Amino acid sequence: MSEESEVLSDDAVYRARDSLLCSACAGYTARTTGKTISGQSLRPVSARLVSAWPVDEFGPCSCDCGRLIAVVVAGRVVVSEPAAAAGGKAKNGRD
């Protein structure tokens, strides 16, 4: 049996309908197919979505598990891990 290759990048935040996910919190099915188990396609977050994200209300634009946050720098989406000094997991308003 051959191993399936992963289609999601380890350093990206994806949008699937009403969720923001990274490859870790998306799960095996999403990592290998690019779709959630309910069939929603995962697409990298856009600069427009990240720019419009209500940080004051929801905190940083991060994946559901808080491993990655997305910000816009010079019109491009930049994804990174939250700073260790932030005191732990980034929150995105969805518990």
Distance CA 71, CA 10 (A): 16
Q: What does the block give as tokens for 27?
A: 């799960």
Distance CA 3, CA 12 (A): 22
20 three-state secondary structure: strand
Q: What does the block give as tokens for 29?
A: 């099915």
Q: Are strands 19-21 and 76-80 parallel, antiparallel or unpaired?
A: unpaired
Distance CA 72, CA 67 (A): 17
pLDDT by 10s per residue, the chain, length 95:
456 789 999 999 999 988 999 999 999 999 999 999 999 999 999 999 999 999 999 999 999 999 999 999 999 999 999 874 355 444 454 44
Q: pTM, whole model, 2 decimals?
A: 0.81
The one-character DSSP state at 41 is: B
